[in-house]
Chain A
């Protein structure tokens, strides 16, 4: 398999050429290069064969009645959402109770530091995930697409 083009030609362009996605100038440059370069010509032919083989492949489609069956969703999505909400409320309650207990209770300094450290670490992780989610949602052109 000869893959190494002796020139500085960017072989990525071959895929654009096969897909007819290059500008007129780029297309001409590729065409001229293919006339002279045997290794790129070989690569072009093989990549074209891959595309043609893929394009000629057909898959067995689901029957119409299979499409009409209800997928898992509805109830499981609802219970998952409810579960997450309850878990967040529970975690927030436990954290608040832990903080209050550590602040007012008779625990040693080391115990208080462990409690504060654990809760602070969990809060920081939560905030970092939240910031990432907000950043992604602001730049996502498809943000209205459900996930």
Chain B
């Protein structure tokens, strides 16, 4: 019965707590590990909140600086991601209040190619192109959502956080997370018709 099971959530959180404690003690390697494990989530969340790649990078870099600046006061028994994403959200809200976040624009990489890439292994190029088109449409629809709907979609459907984690980040009850998420998904559903209906074969 000695199967190779993946680490459980408890084990993972214990490893993370050890990393945080080492980073708090000034271990440069632990700080590097912590940064590498979190910065992508910070960038992706910032990308959803700002809609701009450069703004997202700047926001997430700033969040990482503040994250490490306040790491000494962080309770290592708590999960890191909600804490960091809360910093990202605070920064984004603070900036949007001051400068009214620019209207979002379609995302393109520097060389003009699409930034949204399909990763599923669809067997045919047509299916891959179709999936890619759906992802692009969905992303455009997400950027048109109200900010509070956009952030909950980002946290759940793109970053795969649990309702409890989202509840911590947004400081709203769990039930509100579910209802807000449902409203956001319903708005996306309406925006993606009739393609979505065709997709599920109704």
**A→B interface (CB under 8 Å):** 1, 3, 11-16, 19, 21, 42-43, 45-47, 49-51, 53-62, 66-67, 69-73, 140-142, 144-147
Contacts and interface: CB of A to CB of B under 8 A. Distances in A.
B10 interface: no
A66 B196 contact: no
A73 B90 contact: no
B115 A50 contact: no
State the main secondary structure of chain B at its contact with A.
helix
A21 B178 CA distance: 9
A45 B174 CA distance: 23
Given A58-B119, A59-B115, A67 B39 contact: yes
A3 to B, nearest CB: 8
Nearest to A47: B185
Interface in B128-170: 131, 134-135, 138-139, 142, 153, 156-158, 160, 162-163, 168
13 contacts: A21-B163, A46-B196, A47-B189, A50-B157, A50-B188, A56-B135, A57-B135, A59-B115, A67-B35, A71-B65, A72-B58, A141-B168, A147-B94
Contacts of A14: 182
Instruction: Give the interface size class of chain B.
Output: 35 or more
B56 to A, nearest CB: 9
Contact of B197 (A1, A13, A21, A147): A1
B55 to A, nearest CB: 11
A141 B119 CA distance: 37
A11 B185 CA distance: 12
Contacts of B58: 71-72
A42 B133 CA distance: 22
Contacts of A3: 186
B116 A57 contact: yes
Nearest to B194: A1
Contact of B190 (A1, A16, A140): A1
Contacts of A67: 35, 39, 61
Contacts of A72: 58, 62
Contacts of B119: 56-58
A142 B185 contact: no
Given A54-B135, A71-B57, 12 more contacts: A1-B189, A1-B194, A14-B182, A15-B181, A16-B163, A19-B156, A42-B202, A46-B197, A57-B135, A57-B139, A59-B115, A66-B57
A146 B162 contact: no
Contacts of B125: none
B44 interface: yes
A19 to B, nearest CB: 7
A15 B158 contact: no
A71 B62 contact: yes
B177 to A, nearest CB: 9
